[in-house]
Copies of this chain bind each other. A is one copy, B any other.
């Protein structure tokens, strides 16, 4: 193999996580070690920035800024939800790569982004442009196949479990009984995130909150729901519920937008699954219920990030660069859990094209028969992922997150016309 020499490009895509910037830091620091990588570029706002030739010089960033990426949430390079479809979009990407001699491309994202990376790679091959493409997994949704888990997932469930523990302290204080509390969390298609809230239970304390978890994997039944709540309230002074935003009825429709729910109350429901459950409890059980909805804050809660997750995010960034310079292409870095008594995780490789076409479901056998709690197998899987705290420096009482300097690379091409 002749050594490939040229510039590298790192970009981020899709919804941010608390630790996606840690992967960028890992990639940059690894790239600095290898002479075959001449310049280290960042693409702003995912593929959009590549189309628009919005490139920055990551080697010009201060060491402090790159180190700060390891505790800064959001996507420091910017992100997008733009989906490459048109042929001239793909051709444009190749032109930008050629113009800037980009030979190594690292794309941090979810399933779709890995698919985009695969297509760019195929196009380069067809056009005899030597390019190594490595995907970096990233998603709070934990739904990428071939990897044991996804960087970003451990931190979001550590955050949610922390919030559940804190709310539980508050609820336990309240002297008068029959309080129902509902926490709505993300997860439009799968219950990975809501399931993670079960880690808030202490060991051997199955009756600890959250008392009930409602997942998109279990078709929602109003009758069962009301019975579940009443069962908990016959045992506890309050009932704490965690619900994934993507809760569906038996027909597969989101409960808060389905026509049956609209009929029941005479109008479409606002405010999502949590408000929907509150309305059911207040109107059908006559009990007071309170809601909280973490929204975007949950995927940005870097002050609750898991050290393991942050370290693994860094590791997959490093591994992506190392793989590319040793000749690997068309792969996504995976996390491989070793079979051992204590948690050990290494990196592996999966084919980009395989990853792109699949979604990893939450194993239904990890959901207990009651449909509202998780088995020991799930806890065994998830608990190692939330260990350790990321140290976030404070500035005047608040977290000191970094912003990149973003030194622009001169554009070499005409402005892109997408249509």
Contact = CB atoms under 8 A, between A and B. Distances in A.
A167 interface: yes
Question: Which of A173, A301, A306, A389 has the most chain B CB within a 10 Å cutoff?
Answer: A173
B81 A176 contact: yes
Interface in A296-350: 296-297, 299-304, 306
B170 A296 contact: yes
A79 to B, nearest CB: 5
A293 interface: yes
A166 B292 contact: no
A173 B16 contact: yes
Given A173-B76, A396-B387, A293 B296 contact: no
B78 A297 contact: no
Nearest to A396: B383
A267 B199 CA distance: 39
Contacts of A181: 295-296
Nearest to A20: B173
The interface residues of chain A, by DSSP majority, are classed as: mixed
A269 interface: yes
A78 to B, nearest CB: 5
A401 B165 contact: yes
A270 interface: yes
A55 to B, nearest CB: 14
Given A292-B296, A293-B295, 14 more contacts: A78-B172, A78-B175, A165-B401, A169-B300, A171-B296, A181-B295, A200-B398, A292-B293, A292-B294, A292-B295, A292-B297, A294-B294, A294-B297, A386-B398
Shortest 9 CB-CB contacts between residues of A and residues of B? A292-B295, A74-B169, A45-B175, A271-B271, A75-B173, A386-B397, A80-B175, A166-B300, A170-B300
18 contacts: A16-B173, A73-B166, A73-B169, A75-B173, A80-B174, A82-B176, A165-B398, A166-B297, A166-B302, A166-B303, A169-B300, A170-B300, A199-B398, A200-B398, A292-B297, A303-B303, A386-B397, A386-B398
